[in-house]
Structure formats: structure tokens, C-alpha cells
């Protein structure tokens, strides 16, 4: 068995790569504050001793170290942390120094290429940070941008503005409202403002690259809250990074 793991800043996502080349259902959990015991417990139900493990990670080194320890305790056969490369699986990295492109962004591009081999794609990964990358139909990565995700925008605003923080209080913002611009409490105004800002960046990127006619692929744990606010047509691919890891394995070009 081969286990694929996406270790983000706040969430752990994993799935099995089955013998027929397809992925099992993706599992996910917040790993904030986890020790190796929590990682081991989360993975144990889907892990078989002696399995190979492929990981893409942008998490802090302490989280990586705790995951590594958990995998050793689970008797993993071989653990590989995938890094960005100049080229792989038909995709060419647009960065002058390829290693500087985040591994999660790189692997998501590989997954996008597999889904749309004859199309340009705009890949948007919404997590703690929101990344947007454009891939030409010939596989050339043109670059991208990084902005705070909606949740990070909210935390930044609350931590930097005493008056707004006092008025927001501890009451959670209402969810499921359709009148996105008509917030009726400070907490809801902060939440909606951050979501609208994030959605506007996505729409602007899609318009900017309209000549390429890209497919807009959304992934990441924060993407679902933005979907009702988008004006651009999109496709929701929650396991895009794990699909990209599978492409790394199939290509034999890394690891």
C-alpha cells in the first residue's frame, strides 16, 4: 500500500493510492497542537505496516518531525517528502529557482495537469494562505501570487484593531447568509469582508488570464466558503494535491 499525505499549515489530509491507480476517499483533520501520538492515532486506521509514504508539506519543521516520528512508529517502509522541481509529469516550473515554489503549489499543478492535459488551468488553493497559479496548456507554469486566506485576514484584522475587536466580541459570525454585503454585526462584517476580498482576487485572476481560457480549479479547506461568492465558473477538486502526489509517483521523475 502507498499512503499519500498533504501536511498543510493547519490541516492534515491523506488518502491511499490503490493498486488500480485511483485514490481512496480523502480524510482530513486539523493538526494544531498535535504531538506524534495524535498523528499516529489519526493515520493508524488507514495505515498498513511496511507501506511507502509520500508527503508534501508546508508545515513548520516541528509538525514535520512529529509526523515523521509517527510514521516510524507505524513501521512505514519508506517516507519521501516531495520538493518542487524544474519539471515533472509534463509541467515546467516557472520559478527561476524552482525550489522556492511551495511544494504544495507545485504538486497541485501536477494534479491539475493530469485533470486537464490539453487546457490552461488556474489553480487556487485556499488554506491559511491562498495561492493562485496559472499553467499554460503546453504545461508551462507562468507563476502566481500568494495572499492571506479569508480566515487569516480575519485574525489579522482582529489582532491589529482594538475597536473592531471590541465590537466583534466573542460571538461567532452567522453562516449561510446570502446577502453577502449586508452584514448586520461586526463579527459577520469581518467574516464576509474577508471572504469577499478572497473571492474578488480569484475572479480578478480569472479575468486577467481570459485570453488563455483557463479552467478554474479550486482546492483547499477554505474554498467551499468562497464558492457562493465567485462570479467565475469553477471546478471543485478537494484532493488536488493528493492527485498531484500520485502523478509524482507515476512519473518516476522525483523521489
- The residues annotated as belonging to the active site are 104
The H-or-E segment that residue 206 falls in is helix 186-208
The C-alpha atoms of residue 252 and residue 244 are separated, in whole angstroms, by: 13
H or E element at residue 132: strand 129-135
Q: What are phi and psi of 72, to 5 degrees?
A: -65, -45
DSSP 66-96: HHHHHHHHTT-SEEEE----SEETTEE--SS
DSSP state of 175: -
Q: What would you report as the CA-atom Rg of the chain, rounded to the nearest whole angstrom? A: 19
Neighbours of 196 (CB within 10 A): 16
Is there a contact between 121 and 105 (Cβ–Cβ < 8 Å)? no
Angle subtended at Cα 109 by Cα 194 and Cα 20, rounded to the nearest 5 degrees: 120
Amino acid at each position: 500500500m502507498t499512503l499519500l499525505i498533504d501536511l498543510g499549515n493547519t490541516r492534515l489530509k491523506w488518502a491511499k493510492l490503490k493498486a488500480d491507480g485511483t485514490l481512496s476517499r480523502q480524510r482530513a483533520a486539523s493538526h494544531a497542537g498535535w504531538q506524534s501520538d495524535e498523528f499516529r492515532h489519526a493515520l493508524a486506521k488507514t495505515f498498513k505496516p511496511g507501506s511507502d509514504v509520500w508527503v508534501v508539506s508546508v508545515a513548520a519543521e516541528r509538525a514535520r518531525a512529529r509526523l515523521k516520528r509517527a510514521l516510524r512508529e507505524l513501521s512505514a517502509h519508506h517516507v519521501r517528502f516531495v520538493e518542487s522541481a524544474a519539471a515533472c509529469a509534463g509541467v515546467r516550473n516557472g520559478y527561476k529557482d524552482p525550489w522556492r515554489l511551495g511544494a504544495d503549489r507545485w504538486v497541485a499543478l501536477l494534479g491539475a495537469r493530469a485533470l486537464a492535459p490539453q487546457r490552461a488551468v488556474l489553480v487556487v488553493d485556499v488554506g491559511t494562505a491562498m495561492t493562485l497559479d496559472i499553467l499554460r496548456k503546453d504545461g508551462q507554469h507562468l507563476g502566481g501570487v500568494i495572499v492571506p486566506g479569508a480566515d487569516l485576514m480575519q485574525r489579522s484584522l482582529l489582532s491589529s484593531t482594538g475597536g473592531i475587536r471590541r465590537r466583534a466580541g466573542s460571538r461567532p459570525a452567522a453562516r449561510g447568509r446570502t446577502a453577502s454585503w449586508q452584514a448586520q454585526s461586526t463579527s459577520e462584517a469581518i467574516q464576509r469582508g474577508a471572504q469577499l476580498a478572497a473571492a474578488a482576487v480569484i475572479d480578478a485572476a480569472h479575468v486577467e488570464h481570459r485570453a488563455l481560457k483557463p479552467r478554474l480549479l479550486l482546492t483547499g479547506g477554505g474554498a467551499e466558503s468562497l464558492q457562493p461568492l465567485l462570479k467565475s465558473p469553477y471546478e471543485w477538486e478537494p484532493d488536488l494535491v493528493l492527485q498531484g502526489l500520485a502523478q509524482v509517483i507515476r512519473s518516476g521523475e522525483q523521489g
